[in-house]
Amino acid sequence: MVGELPEELLEQAKFLLTLPPNQANLRRAVSTAYYSLFHLLVRSTVLKWNEPLHQARIARIFEHERMKKVSGATIKSMGIEIDLGDSTSIEGIIRTELTKVAQAFIILQQARHDADYNLEKPLDPADAMAQVNRANSAFDSWETTRNSEIAKEYLFALLFKEKERS
Amino acid sequence: MPIVASGLVQQDEVRERVKRLQELFTNDPEVARIDHRLAEDWSGDYSLFIDVVLNRTTPNAATVLRLSEQIAAALLRVVRSEELGLHSYLNFVSRPENGR
């Protein structure tokens, strides 16, 4: 159903940064970067169902705001247990990479909203570069952590109302 | 809303944590300063916004990528805003043409 859409969106975001840095290209790059990560998480979840019809219906359940709140709760639950760059244990690395994915999702969601709707000030090319890179790094982090139990729990929470911040 | 109250009550703690973040990058030649503000995000959640003002009008990609990774990691390690009920957002601002 979703196929390679997440990767295609990420490549499109990178391509937009190679074009003249006008506001249209910069804003589309940031917005596309967010949706690349959004669809990566959606695809990772729906592929747990075998029936394509169910996959399409489940994909429509995702809500951006709830996904943000769950991502915040995930970062909070990792707390001081994350060990950025220092951990040599597989579990430590997995927890750290999942935290990075959750953080990237939150930051990119606001960046996407600003890119699409906030016209008070121009989008800075440096910021567009940083946001697209953030999505790219989140893809790498997700690859490291996606098969872990905590990543599966994260996906479950994104879909079902349970782990929102109180 | 509990989130607003929590954030407002802990403004001093936020300021202290952001100060530690700023200190980490005080000597970075590419960083002019790191600003912060507390405001509502797109969905109305009281949040911490971090603006990294760069020293160049046209920063190169390697600089932006390095700082983006380092400051995002420092947000998780030092600021830990989610503990305080706040989402953290990170943006970069190139140095204006007038140099301010």
Per DSSP, the residues of B20-32 read HHHHHTTT-TTEE
Tokens 């005080």, located at residue:
B26
* pLDDT of res. A85: 58
Q: Which stretch of DSSP H or E encloses residue B12?
A: helix B11-24
Contact A38, A76 (CB under 8 A): no
- The domain spanning residue B19 has which CATH number? 3.30.70.1350
Q: Provide the shortest C-alpha distance from residue A59 to chain B (in Å).
A: 21
Number of domains comprising chain A? 1
Domain range for residue A79?
5-159
In angstroms, the separation between the Cα of residue A53 and the nearest Cα of chain B is 31
How confident is the model at residue A69, as a pLDDT? 95
Number of domains in chain B: 1
Pairwise CB contact (< 8 Å): B69 & A137? yes
Whether the predicted pLDDT of A164 surpasses 60: no
Mean pLDDT of B34-53: 96
- ipTM for this prediction: 0.90
Q: Indicate the residue type of B57.
A: T
A166 lies in some domain: no
Whole-number CA gyration radius for chain B: 14
Does the beta-carbon distance from B72 to A68 stay under 8 Å?
no
On whether residue A144 sits in a domain, the answer given is yes
pLDDT at B4: 52
Question: What residue numbers bound the domain in which B24 lies?
Answer: 2-93
CA distance A34 to chain B (A): 14
Give the CA distances from residue A135 to residues A52, A108, A158, in Å, rounded to whole numbers and listed in that order.
27, 8, 18
CB-based contact A127 B92, cutoff 8 Å? yes
Using the CB atoms, write b or e for B48-80: b if 16+ within 10 Å.
bbbbbbbeeeebeeebbbebbbebbbbbbbbbb
Q: Is residue B98 part of a domain?
A: no
Assigned domain for A101 exists: yes
Say if the Cβ atoms of B82 and A133 lie within 8 Å. Answer: no
Enter the pTM of the model: 0.91
Q: State the first-to-last Cα distance of chain B, in angstroms, to the nearest integer.
A: 38
Taking only the tens place, the pLDDT of each residue in A6-34 is: 999 999 999 999 999 999 999 999 999 99
Any domain includes A164: no
The DSSP call for residue A129 is H
Which tens digit of pLDDT belongs to each residue from A46-85?
887 777 777 777 878 888 999 999 999 999 998 755 556 5
Pairing between strand B87-93 and B31-40? Answer: unpaired
Q: Do A107 and B88 lie within an 8 Å CB cutoff?
A: yes
Residue B99 maps to a domain: no
Between β-strands B46-54 and B87-93, what pairing exists: parallel, antiparallel or unpaired?
parallel
